[in-house]
Amino acid sequence: MISCIIRSSALYRGFATHAGPHATLPAVLHFKTGQSFFGRSFGAPKSIFGETVFSTSITSYTESMTDPSYRGQILVFTTPLIGNYGVPRNKTPVDSIDVGVVLESQNIQCSAVVVADVAEKFSHHSGVESLASWCHRSGVPGITGVDTRAITRLLRDQGTTLGRIAIGADASASRPTTDQYWDPTTENLVDQVSTRVPYELNTKGDVKIAVLDFGAKANILRSLVRRNAAVTVLPWNFDFDSIRDQYDGLFLSNGPGDPIHCIDAAMKLRRTLQEWNKPVFGICMGHQIIGMAAGLEAYRMTFGNRGHNQPVLALASSGSIKAGRVYVTSQNHQYALKLSDPFPQGWEPFFINCNDSSVEGIKSTVESGKKIWGVQFHPESAGGPLDTIEMFTDFVNECRAMKQRGVASMPADVSSVVGIQTPLH
């Protein structure tokens, strides 16, 4: 009886949507260090070079793939089955709740994806296409049927490694010579993903915050506008000092690649931090830019941290963060700030990673009179844990409180530099 009811034409919709046939070709993942992994292709039938990294995230593959911090990278998912809930329609209104996209940017940002088993069927109320179809439409290749456990162990042993995915006829050709591998970190990837022109979000918000866009995830902007901030998104190398007094706070976003390519932004920020007394908050690349402006050195980690389960220990209390507590965080970075002793005057470590003891956050000291925070992890997650999401509330409330105390902003008149609301990346 139950079976008959479920399969009646009026009620039955099926339990999963078949992805449909997708052409598969022989594919191989080559590493510069000499190893090769053979499988079959999905997505775009083209070969690419990139930097091979892995993520331990067990969900939110769509958010990871659209995160601009993965620009130029071949993304290996350690979770065996990827694609089982498909891909949503990536469009929302632009208002006080949403910023134009469901995911973290308009497009796939990674160069390619590597999965053990790509799902041929997907099931989710918001799913509109399969992972394979999305990748094909976006011009992004993928490889499946490979042992991602072995690949991950290899990357854990030797660190992030340059690679090539060869598809079709290229898969049977000779492996690349070492000098043919392309290293994306030699390029200014931030300049590739940052907005070209300023734009505004939630213009009726009660506190004005400027965002320097090094490759901002959409959920960073959502987290600001949903706290009633009026947000102006600026190019990564914009001269913020020329308009700084029009704003109640400054936010520095995440972004891809080597922070040394953004040294110009760090030097501009140094002047801002010295002369400006309003709140400043940075995440990921933004955290590294703040650190370099403060006099700290950034370095390339052997492995980097990518996943949704990175524990960090708070070394100081600030707002919702309590010293001595461990927070579980979402992370995606290859570079970090060096822990120096002594720390630059007016600064102190804020968080430290419980696994590798790398610096996970810095902040201005109480004695400095400044309100500046930087964290290596992503409080906004998307996906991942929300242990530290209230750091956005702390930041916006501090901007609001300082505005009310009389550190007033000038009336905003940025018509000459700010465009209409535009989609991300």
Is 124 designated active site? Answer: no
Q: Which of 51, 104, 380, 398 is catalytic?
A: 380
Q: Which of 287, 378, 398, 425 is catalytic?
A: 378
Burial label, 301 (beta-carbon count in 10 A; 0-12, 13-18, 19+): middle
Strands 326-337 and 280-283: unpaired
DSSP 177: P
Backbone angles phi, psi at 212, to 5 degrees: -85, 120
The verdict on whether omega for the bond into residue 141 sits within 30 degrees of 0, i.e. cis, is no
Angle at 403 between CA 100 and CA 281, to 5 degrees: 55
- The total of other beta-carbon atoms located within 10 Å of residue 70's CB is 27
Note whether 275 and 242 are within 8 A (CB): no
Is 30 designated active site? Answer: no
Q: Which of 110, 135, 262, 284 is catalytic?
A: 284
Is 390 designated active site? Answer: no
CA 379 to the chain's CA centroid: 11
**Closest alpha carbon to 49 in 173, 135, 163:** 163
Whole-number Å distance between alpha carbons of 167 and 243:
49
* Active site residue ranges: 284, 378, 380
